[in-house]
Amino acid sequence: MRFTETAVAGAKVIDPTPHADDRGRFMRAWCAREFADAGINFVPVQANMGYSVRKGTIRGMHYQTEPAPEAKLVRCTRGAIFDVVLDLRPGSPSYGQWYGTELSAENGRMLFLPEGCAHGCISLQDSTEIYYMTSAYYTPSAAGGVRFDDPAFGIQWPTEATVVSDQDRNWPLVKR
């Protein structure tokens, strides 16, 4: 795996190094030793999947706070998404900054998001599926979010948001 720093402190893009032959390809999706060697202390305790029927479906921007802050490792297993990490950690050198990249079943790319960062994505194709592991169990009392279109952050989504849940549409705007 190749680990690449992003504009958000501690967030990394992880590109697989697949082995291909006449059967197809094989690539590693998780290795505690490789992650530790890359400076990522991540122990997954839960795995989740999401499926979006239509292109333009927004999910996010979601995060968890104390007592259950979570880091995430996100991949796309079918279709393609534009995946975003947003730094909401007070005192972080990249507070308020975001980074986005395309994750697809084809490219096998993953995005690691450290604790204290919000996560969101938009489907770039119909019938898109994501799979992500978290370092904390889902804890409703710790769950929060910010608007995907909050002008305080200026996230530049590559396609129009056409399907948005009431929850994601109604997170309060942040005053910076």
Let me know if 119 is a catalytic residue.
no
Whole-structure pTM value: 0.94
Q: Are β-strands 80-87 and 117-123 bridged in parallel, bridged antiparallel, or unpaired?
A: antiparallel
The CA-atom distances, in angstroms, between 98 and each of 17, 18, 111, 166, 174 are 26, 28, 13, 23, 14
Catalytic residue among 63, 99, 119, 132: 132
Which pLDDT score is estimated for 121?
A: 98
Residue-wise pLDDT tens digits, 147-171: 999 999 999 999 999 999 999 999 9
Render pLDDT for 109-127 as a digit per residue (tens, 0 to 9): 999 999 999 999 999 999 9
Q: Of 62, 63, 99, 119, which is the active-site residue?
A: 62
d(CA 153, CA 112): 20
pLDDT, mean of residues 86-106: 97
pLDDT tens digit string along 24-34? Answer: 989 988 999 99
Is 176 a residue whose pLDDT tops 80? Answer: no
Active-site residue flag, 132: yes
pLDDT of residue 175: 81
DSSP string, 65-99: -TT----EEEEEEESEEEEEEEE--TT-TTTT-EE
Residues facing 37 on adjacent strands: none
